Structure 1
Amino acid sequence: MPTRLTVMAGLVPAIHESQSATMRGAWVYIMTNRPNGTLYVGVTNNIARRFREHRDGPVDGFTERYGLKWLVWYEAHPTSTGAIRREKAMKHWPRTWKVRLILATNPDWDDVGDTIVFCGGGVVWRT
């Protein structure tokens, strides 16, 4: 996840790099209802809004039917075309591959959506 550099007058920027991250572009993400539960792979251009929609329940269909409210994995892409391509590929993956992808960055299956801070049109992560 890219970091935004915060430059402070008279200080070396590398020392004062922001601990938050912002991203414009598109996101591929995986939602679930519990550790090793049902998985949903999705794509969005606004991860904060989409997470809220899943969490608050206005998304009809598969995610509502199975109660998929935990964001357990996400990946940023600079373009929507790249994100859509990745999502379509991942939807055809065996479940085992998706689980390995989650375990590589989130072995406890934590709801990482709780680390998202919503700020206007952007996204910032708590560290």
Structure 2
Amino acid sequence: MNYLPLSNQDAAPIRANIDPWERDIPSLDTVIPLQSTAAYNTLDVIEPIVDEADFFEIMPDYAKNIITGFGRTVDIGGNQPKVAAGCLDINASVKGARFVRFCDAFNIPIITFVDVPGFLPGTAQEYEGTHGLGHVDRVK
């Protein structure tokens, strides 16, 4: 895990980089579809912009509608329009919140990509979102 400092008291590791900072990334011109209802893969945005395309995704099989992971010296998060149209649900919210708290504990900056239509609607999401976090007891 050379993306992380040894402790929360240390600075994030800095490594030599061969990517020029001013490089053009032509694929970014076409990754977002012209139709606002069409989905795209957020990884197609993240991977070309990180240094040397070095991105380590955290929990890629859980809450696939949000992407969290490590780049060089920064952490990256963003919703995934290819899954549930990027709509956030309880699991995505928890995954994102835990990732932000982790980054904060190590003083690592976060780059966030946002293209989200909102939260997943429904009483089940509302109930589980509050009850599942221990804030509200179920009324019987």
Is the TM value for this pair above 0.5?
Answer: no
TM-score range, shorter chain: under 0.3
Bigger strand fraction = 1
Give the greater-gyration-radius structure (CA).
Answer: 2
